[in-house]
Amino acid sequence: MKTFDELFAELQERARTRPEGSSTVAALESGVHAQGKKVLEEAGEVWLAAEHESDEELAEEISQLLYRLQVIMLGRGLSLEDVYRYL
Ligand SMILES: N=c1c2ncn([C@@H]3O[C@H](COP(=O)(O)OP(=O)(O)OP(=O)(O)O)[C@@H](O)[C@H]3O)c2ncn1[C@@H]1O[C@H](COP(=O)(O)O)[C@@H](O)[C@H]1O
């Protein structure tokens, strides 16, 4: 189990070291258009899960959306603080 901040630190490390086989490196290299499509896709799945699926399935979809948002943040060079200051 990990927190949002811990996942972000892990993904920052992936972006820095670019290990082979990392899905994050592949997502970063796919570009902002593909990254944005993934955000929309996962957001739609969260919506559908909230209406029709179990709590567990909803939680899993939300985790994927959070991951995709972090990829967008990393791709644009945003830090957690850049976002948190608006919360
Ligand atoms: N939390 C996630 C995570 N959530 C979603 N995904 C990616 O999203 C995919 C599932 O999304 P989809 O439902 O869109 O499935 P898909 O369309 O079949 O996937 P693709 O064809 O787009 O690869 C997974 O196969 C992963 O590639 C994630 N990839 C990585 N993480 C975590 O990120 C960290 C770094 O991972 P790596 O970069 O792979 O080392 C680790 O802690 C991982 O657990």
Angle 31-52/55-76 helices, nearest 10 degrees? 160
Residue 15 binned pLDDT confidence (cut-offs 50, 70, 90): very high
- When pLDDT is averaged across residues 42-53 and rounded to a whole number, the result is 98
Residues in the chain: 87
Residue 50 binned pLDDT confidence (cut-offs 50, 70, 90): very high
Cβ neighbour number for residue 27 with a 10 Å cutoff:
22
- CA nearest to 31, candidates 68, 75, 66, 73: 75
Please give the CATH topology (third level) of the domain spanning 4-84.
Answer: Helix Hairpins (1.10.287)
How far away, in angstroms, is 71 Cα from ligand 1 center? 10
64 lines ligand 1 (CB under 6 A): yes
> Atom 26, ligand 1: which residue's CA is nearest?
23
pTM: 0.94
Cβ neighbour number for residue 56 with a 10 Å cutoff:
9
> Atom 8, ligand 1: which residue's CA is nearest?
64
How far away, in angstroms, is 64 Cα from ligand 1 center? 7
1 SS3 class: coil
ipTM higher than the 0.90 cut: no
pLDDT at 2: 95
